[in-house]
Amino acid sequence: MFIGVRELEQHELTFREEFPPGTIDFRTPDFRQAAPVHVQVSAEISGQEIHVVGRLATQLELHCARCLEPVSQKLEPSFDLRYRPVAAICREEEIKLAPDDADVGFYTGAGLFLADILAEQVHLALPMKTLCREDCRGLCAGCGANLNRERCRCGPHAVDPRLAPLAALLGSGETAGAGKKKKSSKKN
Ligand SMILES: [Zn+2]
Ligand SMILES: [Zn+2]
């Protein structure tokens, strides 16, 4: 869906649309779109400024910041955005943007792609930090155990996690010999 200046100059645009996963480029490996993005938008132009108002709803799959397990996150942000042509800004470089203009975006050429607007709004709506639950215990820095559901395997002589790689190297010989499972000698 393209929100074009020419068309807006004829009439206001109002529409609903659905973007299945894969049709919006979020430019990040941090999350996955797990449901269609449903969007309801109206757009109009005054002078050269495009005004876009709407709301979207979707579901993402992110990862817990502590234990890295997948977390499902519903987003339903609404938005009220203004875009000015980049060319106009270049000419008026010296003009200081008023404080309430802080949210003004820019468009180049003939208009805006709705998918780009949606990608940006999804990013803005993401929580600062995603947790699978408030009291997620995360991963042990030493052994990598998910402490929500397994015990730390570092043992009683837990090493400083920063030295764990070194300890693993030094201990590898012992560990190999420590396995007490002796194979019973084959019968002759
Ligand atoms: Zn977690
Ligand atoms: Zn551990």
Residue 178 reports pLDDT greater than 70:
no
What is the C-alpha separation between 7 and 16, in angstroms, rounded? Answer: 17
R_g over Cα of the chain = 27
17, 21, 25, 29 alpha-carbon torsion, rounded to 10°:
150
Give pLDDT, residue 160.
64
Residue 10 CA to ligand 1 center (angstroms) comes to: 51
- Whether the model pTM is above 0.85: no
SS (H, E, C) 86-101: HHHHHHCCCCCCCHHH
Which residue did the predictor score with more confidence, 31 or 97? 31
pLDDT per residue as tens digits for the range 115-172: 999 999 999 999 999 999 999 999 999 999 999 999 999 977 655 666 667 666 766 5
Report the separation in Å between the CA atom of 70 and the middle of ligand 1, taken as the mean of its atom positions. Answer: 8
Structure token digits, residue 70: 């997948």
Kindly identify the ligand whose nearest atom is closest to the C-alpha of 67.
1
Dump pLDDT digits (tens) for 38-54. 999 999 999 999 999 99
Query: Over 90: is that where the pLDDT of 79 sits?
Result: yes
Report the separation in Å between the CA atom of 168 and the middle of ligand 1, taken as the mean of its atom positions.
26
Q: What is the 3-class SS of 36-75, one letter each residue?
A: CEEEEEEEEEECCEEEEEEEEEEEEEEECCCCCCEEEEEE
